[in-house]
Structure 1
């Protein structure tokens, strides 16, 4: 049965949750730091103890976050004015031998600008094994939300919305939000989430881009079913029904046709590392002409780890005969396809405003830890690519004034030698964002130190050539490619024609 929340019940439920203080701050304040941390580790007992004598909020937390059964009278009081019987009928609650328990996952979720409530299916091993299971705010959802460039746009498409998390974020910066999904259960839960939060979203039913045929958007975000494997659908939220990474390849080819000129698409994806093929070339081959693209690989897993990770995600007992049979079939398929590893990461696409312009396509690894949200970095990459395109000629770049980013750090390192430590090299890196790191020599270090936004690059190189007694032409030829990389990675920031916010980073 699909969840069904009538408008009057939704309004009453919103009133009850607000009155009880069922928010991220409210729950954190009730539990305290230790019990909240224990709950995050999957240890509910400390949190349950913290909710004793906590009134209506304690009842709601035990019921919705801890999976406990509560007496019907206590539930009725906690959720008033929403009738408990109506919440059972809607699917949020269900009856058991001791009273009422949660039938759906309903939890508070917040960003820096405010709070929401998100409805999804319960995150239990049994529930996760349902083919139509609708996941809540999980790791992939948070990863995409943190990596999405937030800028005011007129129209935004959330492709494969699931429980609606990306659309909630989008409503903060988009004039109109459209969300699609192929799963009726996902659409029902997303609709309830949007109604509960009073967020206006156009919901459309259908696979992939079919529901928006002929339409274009300023921005598209998507957490599609990207898990590579045999052509089957065990779970709608993760399996595309197409073999390997074919579904992702088809989506990348099709997305730019649904973007307005200058429009941006951001999605998560996984691609195969096939024996004898270069994985960046494989992903590049999916791109249509007229598109800037930044493909960032965040993780690489071997076939066994790939299969085991997604079986655990589905809540399977990996030692059971059924799980082992499934794993065997999956591993057999990967071996037949000569798959050596599976990559995972972000894809950022932009349809060029000028279709005759030369697109920028960058495929690279970002395998280290990233503590900062990548959304600003994604937006900054687009701005830096625009600036570099406008300064594509050597003459234009040499005439630019550049400043070293305030977050840049110079590392010098040494190795043991016959007479103690011997200098072995140096590297410049950013101390924020993705921590880009570049090995540099002494002239490059001197150039970066001289980039203070006061002199054009050409004058700095002239001084550097004189100081190191090298021909200017040779120094320019060797330096400009590196300068472009420093700009693209945000280590050198143009003083003119550049957003002030980025210059002050």
Structure 2
């Protein structure tokens, strides 16, 4: 089926062979060592080749699947036992090369902090030695890793992995979802994902079809989606990245249709791209795709690429040399489309949606292009909690009655310059030292208010004391302070006092 015929028996025997050889994430790291393992991650193969030269069965599997080297038949047969070599070739996993064997598919360990899986996908352009075919199934790439790190991980019932590809998001979902449904338009993708799930002994419901059609009428507690979000002319050169829709219409389609498939309180998270068009605000463009009622939405822009860089990046991703006649022809067509549509840049990031059933939509679009190391998933979960709390305290009197505190992870930074009477403050900035590292500039009044937020007094009482100390009308101070307080709560720089464990 679609060039892949990995049945249950092959999966069972392959799993036995891999476990026997320690072909898993920790086993590979142990064989290669940190230095060679890091080099392999950068695409530098020689340190890994040297490290696994005398590695027995595990070394043979690393050379076969991770280094894409020809390995003698006898070594492969021994490493795959009890799976017969002929069955591995017949299934489409391997192919013979004289008296040696090569991998016909990418099959690699992939893990998280709870354990390791094996992931099947197609060989990339480097391993193939040329451009990938139109039905190429991408492996564990930067986009899938980014979405996995940005996804909130909390126990849910039913989860939908829309456009599963090789199944990476479903693997992660299996840790916290009772039932996982994975869909894709590509039959080859579903065939490889099915083998991945069976190899890892996971029960995932698979369904083939376009966008949300396979799950029409169904609702889920969580939806994750890594769609074909590449923007440009309406064509499909590669199914893993191209939707056939014009511009950023693929991202728009998913964002518009996803809410109707969320259960009440359900959360959807996806990667998306959007156009930066001359004279338009990108945030307003994305916000226009969302309903006006019953939705929390957090749109995070992680990067903006200029059109020329964007085109060159995606050509190389598919194994097309931008300098070749084919590459120049594709680039020209792509850049002409951008110019005709007044595209000045292409934004990329994450969209988190939550179905709230009633009430006006709370849509926040913001840039998050600063560098940070923490995964975005915990921050996303925290953002949803904080927005839910703000929704419960949407009336001014409710917020004024709340007791708030500044978390220990938040610091106040001050920069001053020399002055005649000592130092003159230039910048006073609140900085979160965890998560995305949010920053907020403060004036003297805001700094004084936060100094008093220790969970002992209501916000209204603090503002009253502050107004009296500075000779200001309390209502004027309240009117100016509440929007800033809400923004600080969204970013986790102020939190309800009862959320902090003493």
Aligned partner of 1:338 among 335, 338, 342: 342
Report deviation, 1:39. Answer: 1.2
Give me the whole-angstrom Cα distance separating, in 1, the residues matched to 2:418 and 2:210.
60
Q: TM-score of the superposition, structure 1-length normalised? A: 0.96
Contact in 1 for aligned 2:125/2:318 (Cα 8 Å): no
CA distance in 2, matches of 1:323, 1:145: 31
Does residue 349 (structure 1) correspond to residue 353 (structure 2)? The answer is yes
1: distance between equivalents of 2:224 and 2:409?
A: 29
Q: Distance in 2 between matches of 1:237 and 1:416?
A: 57
Do the aligned residues in 1 keep the contact of 2:92 with 2:105 (CA within 8 Å)? yes
The alignment status of 1:401 with 2:428, answered yes or no, reads no
Task: Measure how far apart 1:468 and its partner are.
Answer: 2.3
What is the CA distance between 1:421 and its match in structure 2?
6.0
- The aligned residue for residue 241 of structure 1 is 244
Tell me how large the CA RMSD over aligned residues is.
Answer: 1.5
Q: CA-to-partner distance for each residue in 1:254-292, whole Å, 9 max, x for gaps?
A: 111111111111000000011111111111111123221
Q: How does 1:72-221 map to 2 (within 5 A)?
A: 72-125=73-126, 126=128, 128-221=131-224
Partner of 2:29: 28
CA contact (8 A) 1:69 1:98 kept: no
Residues 98-125 of structure 1 deviation map (CA, whole Å, 9 limit, x = unaligned): 4101111111111111110000011234
Q: 1:380 aligns with which of 382, 386, 391?
A: 382
Could you tell me whether the CA contact under 8 Å between 2:406 and 2:494 is conserved in 1?
yes
Which among 436, 439, 442 is matched to residue 440 of structure 1?
A: 442
Which secondary structure does the structure 1 equivalent of 2:119 belong to?
strand
The alpha-carbon deviation at position 172 of structure 1 amounts to: 1.0
Equivalent residue of 1:452, what SS? coil
Distance 1:421 1:84 in 2: 76
Q: How far off is 1:128 after superposition?
A: 5.0
In structure 2, C-alpha distance between the alignment counterparts of 1:317 and 1:457, rounded to whole Å: 60
Paired residues of 1:406 and 1:504 also in contact (CA < 8 A): no
Q: Secondary structure at the match of 2:166?
A: coil
Q: CA deviation at 1:416?
A: 6.5
> By how many angstroms is 1:469 displaced?
2.5
Query: Is the 2:179–2:204 contact (alpha carbons within 8 Å) kept by the matching residues of 1?
Result: yes
**What residue is the counterpart of 2:48 in the other structure?**
47
Q: Which moved further from structure 2: 333-342 or 289-298?
A: 289-298
Alpha-carbon displacement from aligned partner over 1:52-83 (angstroms, at most 9, x marks no partner): 22110011111110111111111100110011
CA contact (8 A) 2:432 2:493 kept: yes
Superposed counterparts of 1:267-346, under 5 Å: 267-289=270-292, 290-346=294-350
Hey, what does 2:425 align to over in structure 1?
423
Taking the aligned partners of 1:370 and 1:330, their CA distance within structure 2 comes to: 32
Give how far 1:151 is off: 1.0
Aligned residue number for residue 413 of structure 1: 415
Alignment gaps of 5+ in structure 1: none
Shift of 1:97: 2.5
Contact 1:266–1:348 (Cα < 8 Å) also in 2: yes
Count of residues in Structure 1 that have an aligned counterpart in Structure 2: 498
Q: Which moved more, 1:155-164 or 1:82-91?
A: 82-91
Aligned counterpart, 2:473: 471
Alpha-carbon separation, structure 1, partners of 2:419 and 2:333: 53
2:11 is matched with which residue? Answer: 10
Judge which range, 157-166 or 450-459, deviates more: 450-459
Shift of 1:417: 6.3
1:492/1:33 CA distance change after superposition, 3 Å: same
Rounded to whole Å, the distance in 1 between the matches of 2:321 and 2:380 is: 38
Name structure 2 gaps, 5 residues minimum. Answer: none
Given that residues 227 and 250 in structure 2 are in contact (C-alpha distance below 8 angstroms), is that contact kept between their aligned partners in structure 1? no
2:146 and 2:460 map into 1 onto residues whose CA distance is 41
TM-score, normalised to structure 2's length? Answer: 0.97
Contact 1:156 1:170 in 2 (8 A): yes
Q: 2:124, 2:132 within 8 Å by CA — same for their partners in 1?
A: no
Asked whether the 8 Å contact 2:299–2:350 carries over to 1, the reply is yes
Q: Distance in 2 between matches of 1:186 and 1:325?
A: 28
415-424 vs 259-268, greater mean Cα deviation = 415-424
> Which string of whole-angstrom CA distances, capped at 9 and with x for unpartnered residues, describes residues 347-404 of structure 1?
0111113x2x122111111010121111111111111111101111111111100010
Aligned match of 1:230: 233
Partners of 2:497 and 2:423 in 1: CA distance: 39
TM-superposed CA distance for 1:219, in Å, is 0.8
